[in-house]
Structures are given as C-alpha cells and as structure tokens.
Chain A
Amino acid sequence: MDKNAKIYVAGHRGLVGTALARKLQKEGYTNLLFRTSRELDLRRQAETEAFFDQERPDYVFLAAAKVGGILANDTYKAEFIYDNLSIATNVIQAAYRSGVKKLLNLGSACIYPKFAPQPMHEGLLLTGPLEPTNEAYAVAKIAAIKLCRYYNEQYGTNFISVMPTNLYGPEDNFDLENSHVLPALIRKFHEAKISGQKSVVLWGTGEPSREFLHVDDLADACVYLMQKYDHKDLGEFVNIGVGKDIKIKDVAELIKRVIGFDGTIHWDTSKPDGMPRRLMDTSKIHALGWKHRIELEEGLKSEYQWYVRSA
C-alpha cells in the first residue's frame, strides 16, 4: 500500500472505522476517503456504484455495518439483516466493478456456532446452529465472507475477511440498550460512583469468560494484513483476538478499580449467564506475525478517560 494510495474507509465514524482512520493517518497515509452515511447510503445500490465509479479507490476497509448489543439484535432483526446484507453486496460488487486492488471485510465472532468448541478456530464456520438472538446479523456477516471468497474465486479479486473478537475502545456505544458488555459495565460503575451508590447490581454469576480486544489493536491488525498478505495467504478469513479470556467477574473488579468505585458488586444470579466461554483461536493470525499489544487494564483506563471526556 503506497502512502498516497486512495483508501476508502467505509463506516469511518464507527468504533472500528475511527480506529482505522486514526491508524492510517498515523502511518502517513495521505489519501483517505470518507463518507458519512448521510452523504452516501451504502444500502442503496445505485449510490454505491456511482460513488465507486467516480472515486475509484485503490483499497477499501469495509467497516460499515449496523451493529448493536443482544437486545438491539434481537429486536431489530430485519434491519440488522437487511442493512448488513445490502451494504456487503453493494460494496463488494462495486469494489469488483471499479477495480479495487484489495478489500478488507470486517466480520464478527458471532458467525460461529453457539456451541462451538472453545477456543474457536476458523474451520468451525457453519458447523452448528448460531446464537438465535443475533442470528440475522450473523447470517449477513457469513454471506459477506462468502461473497469475498467467491469474487476471489470467480474474478481473481483480492478481498480478505477478518473476524474480530469482542471489541472495546474510544467511540464505543455506551447506550445501555445497545451496548456491549464492557461499555455497559463502565457506565454502570461510573454512574454508581457519581451518584454515591453503595452497590452495583450485575446480571448472572460473573462466572462466564470472554475475550476483549482493543479496537486500536484491531486497526493495527487490519492495516498489517492489508499491507502484507493476500487472500491466498489467509484462506477464507482470519480471526483477530488476543487469544486469552477473562471471567466477567474479574473484568467487573478491574473496571471497578479503574473507575475508583468503592461500593460492592451484587450478582443477580436469577438472571441468565449466557455462554460459559467465548474465545477466538488466534493461532492463524499469530502465525502471520501479528499479536495484540494493548492489555485489558491499560485499554480500560483509556476507554474510561474517553467516556468521561465525551459524557
């Protein structure tokens, strides 16, 4: 990737897109292309094709998506599948038509079966039923992986797909209805601290464990892969994670400490726990020479600072 190559970051205002833009700017890429969803609705076929035909980007990071937490995914299933399928089909086709040199498609860990053995390696795709609450989103993401693969097979394009684990970082969504586990915990502890509450109630037992990747590390991995590897080196797609997990109760203690909340944590064990363990097998990305740099405590500190500044 030349420093003056034209690089389109689709979804540059989201969690992943902003991190990608930061990373690319930091690395000295000067010709970055952005459009807000108001300027360019990627769900609209004609608009998307006209944009690609006119701008002819050399590289594309496809980070535009409709995303949300479990509740949003479950409630707005039709929007999640329609928006994400439309964005993927329109962008991938337009990228092929306009001669994009390389495209990186961002997926999600939810493409894996609900009861996949842990840690989850890339070969487990479509080997069992998905988690029903985010099935619609996951199917759209699976379709995007397959689109990239088949364009490569039929048209000789160079479209690669990456599946990040749970992400966190600046620009995260702290809306309680829509947020993922880390921002939700940060907000709960922060609000408890500000209002002087003595305890915080959290759902479940705290026993399940999860893996968290800082979005700056994801951006680093994406740019690294874009610079160094072709789809032939990667296979259908590659996981991006830290390769280790942590119990939710340990995460809660960590966040409590980072925020400086002095009260106690009460676990409401009448509430469901979710899957006992979700973790990526990161051997493939490690073998490609990439490893995460930001450890959870450090990442949480910067995330909390960001939250306080932006709240």
Chain B
Amino acid sequence: MSAITSAESGIGTFAGRRTWITGHRGMLGSALVRSLTKEGADLLLATHQELDLVNQSAVYDWVEKNRPELVFHVGAKVGGIHANATFPADFLYGNLLIQTNVIDAAHHFGVKKLVFVATNCMYPAIATQPISEDSLMTGAVEDNIRSYAIGKIAGIEMCRAYRKQYGCNFVSVIPPNLYGPGDNYHPQYGHVVAGILRRSHEAKLAGKRELVVWGDGTPRREILHVDDAADAMKCVMAAPMTHDMFNVGCGHDLSIAELANLIAEVVGFEGSIVYDKSKPNGTMGKLLDNSRIRALGWRPKFDEKTGLQNAYADFLELLETPIRNGRF
C-alpha cells in the first residue's frame, strides 16, 4: 500500500532551509542537529519549556509564528519495556497528541515535507524476516511495548492520510534499536545496548567476574548508530517521495550473546557473561528489510564495533559531565 505512483522532486540541499526538529534534545534529535548544523540548515528548535508538544494551541501558535519549511518529527514520549508497561496510558495519550498536533499544524501552515519517526516494535511480533514495510498491521504487536507501538501506527497512518487527502509530502521512517551519543543509560529506562554497556562498564570497574544478561542470549537484535539513523532521515527528506514508509536498518542483526560479547570487548570487561534464563527473552527477532532506503543510495557508515566504540567514548564523557539530564 505504501508505493507512491508519481515521484515528486525531493527537497535538495539543507543549506538555509527553515528546518524544525521536534525532540531535538533526544538522542536522535540531537544527532540531526549536529548533522544539519554542518550543512548550514536554518534550524528551528524549541525546548520542552518553550513549547509543550502536547499542548494543541501552543503547537499551532508556534508553527504559525516560526513557519518551518521542513519538519523532522522526532519528538515523542519514549522509554523501555518497563516504562511502557508501567505508564501505557501516558505513552499512548502523549504520543497521539504530539503527532496529531505536529502533523496537522504542519499541513495547516504549509510545511513542504515532514519525516516522521516510527519504530520497529510496531511490526507484528511474528513476521517474516527481514521485515518489509508492507508487514505493518498484518499481525499482533509485541505485548509489552504495544501502547507505544499503537501510537506510532496511528502516526504512520496520519502521514498517509494527509498525503492522500491533501497531497502532503509526509513520510515515515522506521529505525531498529538505536545507540550512540545521547543514549539514555538509566538502569530502568534504557534500551538494550545502553543497558549492557553500562553494566559491562560497572562490572569492569568493580572487578566482577560475571555479568548477568536477561534471557538466554538467542534473540536477535538489529542495532543502528544514531548518526547513521540521522543520515538516513536526511536522505529520505532530500529524496523524491518514492514510498510513504522507509525501514532504516543496517540490514543485519546480532544475537544478544554476540552483542553482549562485542560490548564487553569494546568496554574491556574480561569476565564472563551469564544468561539469566528465568528472565524473558523479549521479541526473538526484528530484522528490517532495508531495500527501499538502499535504493535511495543510503548506506550506514558505522559497523557495529566502530559504532559501539564511539558510543562507549560518549558514555565515558557522560560520566565526567556534572549534569546528566536523567540519562544516567
């Protein structure tokens, strides 16, 4: 359903373009800021204190006043499995409101193109791998992440609907697990890479012999460095609208055991990794089919090892930072 029949021209370069990045303080948003700043984009950024995306009239007023030409809609209420399970109403309510406000205001005030970030967890829990964009809504989603996933499905559907009715160039990208500078290393709210990285580091410092990882180590995870994800979003923004959804993964995955070993190696933890099989495995695999975005010419720049080295360097830097914004 997501093929676009007539390919319009893309937006070209970013220099001087009025570009709004929602959620610019988050991991992905700040990666976009770094990258677009280098390209000379005219960035429009509002902190949460300046603009609460959940507040409908505030969003419309802000967009009317600032008149962005391009929008990277990254801002969302995010969190790991624990946060999703504990606050499902807050996640769904917040994310539905944020995206209805941003998408509708973008249409209302003539935004030329908008790239919306969804998530690989909105694909069915059981899907043929690698997962193509067309698998959306072909089966039930993972139970423990569903409220976040439903919100993202609604966002993708909104972009499609605005495109169909109004001809808006609104397009969605679906990244896998992101990691890298700006990641959240909070023990409860962090994702898989951040969690193992922090605990490997702490185990190393404490001189522990063992590091415990949840599950049996066999589930597979595709991870993507956040700079590569930002790069992919720019590529989708700049390219003609060939489709209304793009998976942006590196195209291969690692088992949790392979990932844990690689992180331990990067961190320099020399003990052994022990699997706590009494804990849930989570989804068994979620490798994205990236052929659409590859057809646009995008390729990831980091392999997992170099990417993780870069992430660990950022982590060490964060440890030296007095204000950690809840990331630790």
Main secondary structure on B side of the interface with A: helix
Stretch among A146-154, A184-192, A197-205, A251-259 lining the B interface = A146-154
User: For the complex, what is the distance from the CA of A135 to the CA of B1, rounded to whole Å?
Assistant: 11
Can you name the residue of chain A whose Cβ is closest to the Cβ of B165?
Answer: A78
**Complex contacts, B91 vs chain A, CB 8 Å:** 150
Query: Given the complex of chains A and B, what is the CA–CA distance between A169 and B150 in angstroms?
Result: 33
- Name the prevailing secondary structure of the A interface residues: helix
B93 pairs with A82, CB closer than 8 A: no
The tally of residues in A whose CB lies under 8 Å from a CB in B reads 37
Interface residue B164 (Cβ < 8 Å from any Cβ of A): yes
Of chain A, the residue at the smallest CB distance from B104 is A82
Known A78-B166, A147-B92, A153-B89; judge A128-B137 contact (CB<8 A): yes
Q: Mark A18-52, 1 if CB is under 8 A from B, else 0.
A: 00000000000000000000000000111000000
**In this complex, what residue of B is CB-closest to A130?**
B137
Interface readout for A134-159 with B: 1 if CB under 8 Å, 0 if not? 01100110110011011101110000
Q: Mark A87-108, 1 if CB is under 8 A from B, else 0.
A: 0010011001000000000000
CB of A77 within 8 A of CB of B93, answer: no
Name the residue on A nearest B96 (C-beta): A89
Closest 3 CB pairs of A and B: A77-B161, A150-B88, A78-B165
- Give A45 to B86 CA distance when docked, in angstroms: 25
Counting contact residues on chain B (CB < 8 A from A), the size range is 35 or more
**Residues B151 and A143 in contact, CB atoms below 8 Å apart:** yes
A256 to B79, CA, bound (A): 58
The smallest beta-carbon distance between A300 and chain B, in angstroms, is 34
Knowing A126-B137, A128-B139, A135-B157, say if A150 contacts B89 (CB, 8 Å): yes
Which residues of B167-216 are within 8 A (CB) of A? 168
From the candidates B100, B147, B158, B168, name the one contacting A150 in the complex (CB within 8 A). Answer: B147
Contact check, B158 vs A78: say whether CB atoms are below 8 A apart.
yes
Residue of B nearest to A124 (CB): B140
Q: Distance in Å from the Cβ of A108 to the closest Cβ of chain B? A: 15
Is A136 a contact of B100 with CB atoms below 8 Å?
Answer: no
Complex A-B: 9 CB contacts under 8 Å: A78-B158, A81-B154, A96-B89, A128-B138, A136-B161, A143-B150, A146-B92, A154-B86, A154-B90
